[in-house]
Chains A and B, each alone.
Chain A
Amino acid sequence: GAVVSQHPSWVICKSGTSVKIECRSLDFQATTMFWYRQFPKQSLMLMATSNEGSKATYEQGVEKDKFLINHASLTLSTLTVTSAHPEDSSFYICSESYLGLAGGQETQYFGPGTRLLVL
């Protein structure tokens, strides 16, 4: 089945530093990649959607200058949290949209997530 990896799985950083999270598709070439953030006991909050070679589309309320998304290839997307602060501490999850072979339906597959703690 489709496999999506994320790196790192855990990161602890000081306030003011930047953190880069990688999302990599191992089994397929993704048509669309999504970045989510999830606070404890909350639902997934979509941050942005990106397609390879184009600028990401950010959801309302998400600062595009703070959360930089680069979708360099069909198999790699990166999220950089710039000048991270304690309130950015969260669980960041990427997902990739895969257009199935049969029926043409798109399905999302999630990466394992990256837990960010900003001190």
Chain B
Amino acid sequence: QKEVEQNSGPLSVPEGAIASLNCTYSDRGSQSFFWYRQYSGKSPELIMSIYSNGDKEDGRFTAQLNKASQYVSLLIRDSQPSDSATYLCAVERESGGSYIPTFGRGTSLIVHP
């Protein structure tokens, strides 16, 4: 069973703080890693993708990948109330020419003013 684990939260941070979201995965063959944001009642939207160990920064978002420890994290700097949403971690593995994703249950983030 390939699993992606996330703390369901909610994670509550004050406006302007750094929000840190974590995700672990069980399949060492995983090759691609993604963070999606999902607002209530909406479908997920891609925030970040990361494929190699280290950090990847995009604006206020930083994704961190550590394949040896099998974890991927997302840091949100200067958190805003509009960042309040559920953040889904997704892990993909190539299988028979297709890339099959596995999603975590998501972490609920609340940014309070």
Question: Interface of A with B (CB < 8 Å)?
Answer: 31-32, 34, 42-44, 46, 49, 51, 91, 93, 97, 103, 105-113
* Interface membership of B103, Cβ < 8 A: yes
Q: How large is the interface on B (under 10, 10 to 19, 20 to 34, 35 or more residues)?
A: 20 to 34
| B81-97 Cβ-contact flags toward A at 8 Å (1 or 0) | 00000001010100000
- The answer on a CB contact under 8 Å between A107 and B46 is yes
**Residues of chain A within 8 A of B104, CB atoms compared:** 43
Residue of A nearest to B98 (CB): A32
Question: Interface of B with A (CB < 8 Å)?
Answer: 32, 34, 36, 42-46, 49, 51, 88, 90, 92, 98-106
Residue of A nearest to B96 (CB): A57
State how many angstroms separate the Cβ of B47 from the closest Cβ of chain A: 12
- The answer on a CB contact under 8 Å between A110 and B88 is no
- The answer on a CB contact under 8 Å between B43 and A106 is no
**Residues of chain B within 8 A of A31, CB atoms compared:** 98
Interface SS, A side: strand
**Residues of chain B within 8 A of A110, CB atoms compared:** 36, 43-46
Contact partner, B46, options A42, A44, A46, A108, Cβ 8 Å: A108
**Residues of chain B within 8 A of A97, CB atoms compared:** 98-99
Interface SS, B side: strand
Residue of B nearest to A1 (CB): B46
- The answer on a CB contact under 8 Å between A106 and B42 is no
State how many angstroms separate the Cβ of A38 from the closest Cβ of chain B: 9
- The answer on a CB contact under 8 Å between B98 and A109 is no
- With A32-B98, A43-B104, A46-B101: A106-B45 Cβ-Cβ less than 8 Å: no
The 8 A-B pairs with the shortest beta carbon distances in the complex, nearest first, are A43-B105, A113-B43, A106-B99, A110-B43, A44-B103, A93-B43, A110-B44, A32-B98
- 8 extra interchain contacts, Cβ-Cβ under 8 A, other than A93-B44, A103-B51? A43-B104, A44-B44, A46-B102, A105-B32, A106-B32, A106-B92, A107-B32, A110-B45
Contact partner, A49, options B51, B98, B105, Cβ 8 Å: B98
